[in-house]
Amino acid sequence: MTFDVAVSDPLFAQQQQTLNNLARPTTRSLGLYNAGLSAEAVRQKYGVTHIAKLASNENPLGASPQVVSALQADADFSAVYSDAASARLRDVLADYTGVSAENIVTGNGSEDILHMLALAFLNPGDRVVTLIPSFGLHEIFPRMMGADVTLVGVDQRQQFDVAAWEQALSTPAKMVIFSNPSNPVGCMLDKDGFARIIAAAPQECVLVIDEAYFEYCHENPDYPDSLAVLAAQRRPWIVLRTFSKAWGLAGLRVGYGLASHPELVNLLNRVRTPFNINRAAQTAAVAALGDPAHVKASVALVNAQRERVAAELRRLGFDVAPSHANFLFFDCGRPSGEMAQHLLRYGVIIKPWREPGYEHWIRVSMGNEEDNQQFIDALKAILAQGAV
């Protein structure tokens, strides 16, 4: 079926106008999340056979084989609704994290929990403090609710600027959100910095600590044990983690939040869609938690590759931010959008950064050795041609 109004028809333009009149003003002005390109689209457009997809921080080892067999066994139940409470998954997570199940909320990816937090807490004009450069949704979801967002930059060395955070937190805020390690920079807030930011944050606010990359650095002695620090505080907080990165389940969409109080979970339950974690995702996450060795292997591979690729980039003369996650953020010395276009011709997908002040920066995810080499070789070829 085709709609009977042609694009050139005045009624088409009129409807566009009507929709924009009906939409909430905050919806009209909202930025779009900058999602990466698909491997298939690049393969078709550029005719390259091997694609190095290094734009979305996915796990180069994929999911655990135990996840694959659990999904196959569960396929027969596709017609049956998922458990709206994710009870089994929350029980297994309680065992895994040591946090009781009533303090755990699950999401269709941890981005879903960021969305619930915005819906549950933010009114127009509320102040939210977050990082720049940033994981887009930390800013987009608050803005969707009409919140005023204060962005705190990193320092010259691309590290958390703790003094700037203390300053930003000296005036009231409803919500404080940051990722540690940060995405896209990869910088890690250490124990002392974490304690200072928590101490500076207003008592009456929701602290949202996004630990999407927890698994890559939790063994670092400087990485704060956020649950231990926050548990000692009688105030609202939530720590977010995800199965999308080290656990290799990005396509299935599962994240979780560890909350200070069951009432926080109750509030989020009121605004979430009832069956937000689909059946396959719940099955996969439970199976994944049964294979921690797979995560260990993924982290070991990625952390070793990260050091190797960082050294290569520095040898090529680039300014590379020290990273504690599964990606590197570097200044490519020219508009990163153009560099990204050139890399696509070599079958390499990276993420050119777009936030003001970072238009020369690229975030590249760590793939397996072969994919990373394809990226380095492509970069060298482009530089040698003087193409950008």
To ligand PLP, the closest distance from the beta carbon of 112 in angstroms equals 7
- Tell the burial category of 349 from Cβ atoms under 10 Å away from its Cβ (0-12, 13-18, 19+): buried
Closest CB to ligand PLP among residues 284, 376? 284
To ligand PLP, the closest distance from the beta carbon of 213 in angstroms equals 7
> Using CB under 6 A, which residues numbered 232 to 251 contact ligand PLP?
242, 244-245, 250
Closest CB to ligand PLP among residues 268, 383? 268
Interface stretch with ligand PLP, choices 109-117, 186-194, 265-273, 328-336 (CB under 6 A): 109-117
298 binds ligand PLP (CB under 6 A): no
Alpha carbon 220 to chain centroid distance? Answer: 21
Position 63, amino acid: A
Closest CB to ligand PLP among residues 366, 382? 366
Closest CB to ligand PLP among residues 165, 346? 165
Q: Alpha-carbon distance 169 to 113, whole Å?
A: 23
> Using CB under 6 A, which residues numbered 354 to 383 contact ligand PLP?
none
To ligand PLP, the closest distance from the beta carbon of 6 in angstroms equals 38
The bridge status of strand 104-107 relative to strand 206-210 is unpaired
Dig out the tokens for 86 from the structure: 């994710």
Closest CB to ligand PLP among residues 185, 383? 185
111 binds ligand PLP (CB under 6 A): yes
Give Cβ neighbours of residue 148 (< 8 Å, ≥ 6 apart).
Answer: 125, 126, 127, 128
Considering just the CA atoms, what is the radius of gyration of the chain in Å? Answer: 22
Q: Which of 59, 158, 183, 282 binds ligand PLP (CB under 6 A)?
A: 183
- Using DSSP's 3-state secondary structure scheme, residue 291 falls into coil
To ligand PLP, the closest distance from the beta carbon of 179 in angstroms equals 4
To ligand PLP, the closest distance from the beta carbon of 155 in angstroms equals 19
Closest CB to ligand PLP among residues 42, 131? 131
Dig out the tokens for 373 from the structure: 């080499």
Count how many Cα atoms sit within 13 Å of the Cα of residue 102 in the half-sphere of its side chain: 3
Q: Which of 126, 139, 210, 371 binds ligand PLP (CB under 6 A)?
A: 210
Q: Which of 255, 257, 352, 367 binds ligand PLP (CB under 6 A)?
A: 255
- 181 and 212 Cβ atoms separated by less than 8 Å: no
Interface stretch with ligand PLP, choices 104-112, 190-198, 223-231, 345-353 (CB under 6 A): 104-112
Q: Which of 212, 289, 302, 310 binds ligand PLP (CB under 6 A)?
A: 212
282 binds ligand PLP (CB under 6 A): no
- 60 and 371 Cβ atoms separated by less than 8 Å: yes
To ligand PLP, the closest distance from the beta carbon of 238 in angstroms equals 13
Cβ contacts of 199-203, under 8 Å, gap ≥ 24 = 200/165, 200/166, 200/169, 200/170, 201/169, 201/173, 201/176, 202/169, 202/172, 202/173, 203/235
181 binds ligand PLP (CB under 6 A): no
Of residues 87, 56, 108, 77, the one with CA closest to residue 243: 108
Which residue number has the CB closest to ligand PLP? 109
* Beta-strand runs (E) in 33-183: 52-53, 104-107, 127-132, 148-153, 175-179
- Using DSSP's 3-state secondary structure scheme, residue 167 falls into helix
Closest CB to ligand PLP among residues 92, 277? 277
Closest CB to ligand PLP among residues 318, 329? 329
> Using CB under 6 A, which residues numbered 125 to 154 contact ligand PLP?
135
Q: Determine the angle formed by the axes of helices 336-345 and 39-46, rounding to 10 degrees.
A: 70
Q: Which residues bind ligand PLP (CB under 6 A)?
A: 57, 109-111, 135, 179, 183, 210, 212, 242, 244-245, 250, 255
